[in-house]
Amino acid sequence: MIVITGGAGFIGSVLVWKFNEMGVDNLLVVDEKARGSAKWNNVKKRSFVDYLDSDPFIQQLEAGRYDGKITAIFHMGACSDTTERDVEYLRRNNTEYSIRIAEWSLKNKVYLAYASSAATYGDGALGFSDNDKLTPSLKPLNAYGQSKLDFDVWVLNKGAEKKITGFRFFNVYGPNEYHKGAMRSLAHKGYEQIRDTGKLRLFKSYKSEYADGGQKRDFVYVKDVVDAMIWFYDHPEHKGIFNIGSGHAQSWNELAEALFAAAKKPLKIDYIEMPPSIRDQYQYFTEADLAKLRNTTYKGSFRNVRDGVADYAQYLSRPENPFL
């Protein structure tokens, strides 16, 4: 049986979908009070053997209920709100929960892959290399990124990077994110703005080297993300912490152009003031260094925003059912 924590959430539910597409349904979906919530739509049509809330799952896991029954864990579950300021909550929910799963997996020699984040890189002053020697020096800009970095450092301190696999996801967008509220990608929020108002709002730039809307991100389509994850599962000889992004930064303006094209509407962008509360934490540039990934035998590709948004539009255009 394969466990997917955060399995009703964004990336986790697309992973469930991908396994089902492959004919795999011996899945245990774990999430935080998902049943009856909006995100339950992400999995209500999927095939899996059971669902558990996250607290009962970890308790039963540690009590030995699943010893000898689980073949792999994809730990995608976490509080992903980058504005969350409750450090103790993030430590308990993100870092410590991950450690508990990792300790069980290592003890029972069960395949483990987990979600880290590009938020660990902070303002990018040290670059975006997933070289393990750089990791302890990283300085995230928010408590969420720190909670992810703390687990990455735990993995390295234990020498566990030789036994488990971590994925530093960059700016993931795509179907099944609609339930995330303010944490949805601009691809989702922007399409709604264009559909409803005919225009899109983007933040002004406060750095002279970047034009308004010229700030850049490494946007990566969720279907490409889960393809990479499945590949690592099928090639367990590759372990470590890897960047998962397109490897090519694109501007918010380029994303806007793709969204207007997908919505079949003329380009109209309003540049608005950035809230002072986030100006000091704002990343002007992110781009995954894929050298470590490309040093494996992985040959998969990652779509640019034009192609990713074009595929995403088939879901965005049906607001009553915007999921896989």
Which residue numbers are catalytic?
144, 180
How many Å apart are CA 202 and CA 213, to the nearest integer?
6
List helix spans (H) across the chain.
10-21, 54-62, 87-90, 97-108, 143-157, 186-197, 222-234, 252-263, 276-279, 291-294, 305-316
How many Å apart are CA 51 and CA 199, to the nearest integer?
41
Largest pairwise CA distance in the chain = 58
How many Å apart are CA 255 and CA 165, to the nearest integer?
30
Number of residues in the chain: 324
Beta bridge mates, 116: 168
How many Å apart are CA 186 and CA 231, to the nearest integer?
28
Name which of 184, 164, 162, 159 is nearest 174 in CA terms. 184
Q: For residue 119, give the amino acid letter.
A: A
Contact 136, 153 (CB under 8 A): yes
Q: What share of the chain is helix, strand, coil (3-state, %, to 5)?
A: 40, 15, 40
With 0-12 / 13-18 / 19 or more C-beta atoms within 10 angstroms meaning exposed / middle / buried, residue 225 is buried
Query: For the chain, how far is it from start to end, CA to CA, in angstroms?
Result: 23
Q: For residue 156, give the amino acid letter.
A: L
Chain position carrying tokens 């406060």:
206
